[in-house]
Structure 1
């Protein structure tokens, strides 16, 4: 396993993960994403960086794709194993910036969704992640990321805090930013059945779409498409997120 600055999801995190992310695991949310990923794969090999509990990889395998994963947390991988055996979905436990999956150099698609590149909290590691994706791709293959656009305009003056999410189930999210280092901490408040509130936090390094393009260029990849969402809406200065695809040249 490589050395990474990412927070390691422990056993408690892994047990809670699927329940905490029910709202982004419905068919209405997943199917547009799965359609795009299957189309880009062109029936070739697919690799997910940060494969987690299999929220995306398992349904892709069920669609008939040849899928593998790299995941830092053995606890998250153990949850995936409850859903699908290694023979159908191999997963390497390691750092997505450095770990090597089987059949390196032969993947049609490497993807990294749900803002997870920000889990790497240094620019150098994020650059290494792009290079690792390029290393796994065959010529003509594609690297896709889904990433939020930091909502700095929402920050209260002098507080460096921005509201991010207010769900109907009462789940609240606030982000705090260090503008000098591009570090971010997300603060989650989830109501519990007993009336209490469970607090959790995660540390990230945010990055901008043009910064991603430079990282891709350093890895020898070329920007092919950028959308605001999985429905391929145009990406604009008002978009809160983007889905970006870079292609490895044929020669």
Structure 2
């Protein structure tokens, strides 16, 4: 399963939160800075490009950007910001769909690889990234670290965020390595909105093995886009994988 099965027109219309959340300058700015640096003089391809949260400002930095996206409503929202000539998008699954051209950078942000619910599908995603890259090209994955250490015996859920008007709750199936994220939004009334998304969580070491199967080496791993050290306490990571250069 990928986003196209979940992210219909209603979700696409309210996905963007300009200036806040994952659209906040302190979140988006370092992401775009790092990706622009990694792309260098080459072109970039975003798997699961969505509404263009990252692609639009990256293209604005002068990096040629293309995308693959399964959800057509998400692409429609992207088209309110950039036309097909500026950011071309191929409709399809990020694990198998091929976009034309070769790229110096392929990237997957905000935990999106976990939308593929099987290990085989996630491995194919790495292979698809390699298929698109020039020799020496990089594949960047932003992913959260499973919080199983927070689960005492007999408990299957963790609250990972609590803010005024919002609760983020994850329920785990440790046998299948699946997690369902529950996003509750509410106000002062008794009503609440719930959006749920299923994921397959991946340990960093497992992600590295997927990369090896596709011909990548781990070049760098940090706790965030600004380059903070990745430690045992880090809640997420930005991992940069690289193909061997041509000989």
- Residues 117 and 59 from structure 1, CA distance in 2 versus in 1: closer, same or farther, beyond 3 angstroms? same
- Residues 96 and 211 from structure 1, CA distance in 2 versus in 1: closer, same or farther, beyond 3 angstroms? same
* Aligned counterparts of 1:178 and 1:166: Cα–Cα separation in 2: 22
- Asked if 2 retains the 8 angstrom alpha-carbon contact of 1:8 and 1:72, the reply is no
Q: Which structure 2 residues correspond to residues 1-251 of structure 1 after superposition, within 5 A?
A: 4=1, 6=3, 7-19=5-17, 22-103=20-101, 106-167=102-163, 169-192=164-187, 196-251=191-246
- Residues 190 and 83 from structure 1, CA distance in 2 versus in 1: closer, same or farther, beyond 3 angstroms? same
Q: After superposition, what is the alpha-carbon deviation per residue over 1:21-42, rounded to whole angstroms, capped at 9, x for unaligned?
A: 9311021211111110000001
Q: Please, what TM-score do these two structures have when normalized by structure 1?
A: 0.94
Task: Choose 217-226 or 230-239, whichever is displaced more.
Answer: 230-239
- Asked if 1 retains the 8 angstrom alpha-carbon contact of 2:18 and 2:24, the reply is no
Q: Please, what TM-score do these two structures have when normalized by structure 2?
A: 0.95
How many pairs are equivalent?
A: 245
The CA deviation at 1:64 is 1.1
* Aligned counterparts of 2:17 and 2:223: Cα–Cα separation in 1: 26
Q: After superposition, what is the alpha-carbon deviation per residue over 1:180-211, rounded to whole angstroms, capped at 9, x for unaligned?
A: 11010011110147552101111000001110
The CA deviation at 1:133 is 0.3
* Aligned counterparts of 1:129 and 1:148: Cα–Cα separation in 2: 17
Q: After superposition, what is the alpha-carbon deviation per residue over 1:64-116, rounded to whole angstroms, capped at 9, x for unaligned?
A: 1100000110010000001110000000110000001120xx20000001000
Structure 2 unpaired stretches of 5+? none
* Aligned counterparts of 1:64 and 1:76: Cα–Cα separation in 2: 23
- Asked if 2 retains the 8 angstrom alpha-carbon contact of 1:154 and 1:163, the reply is no
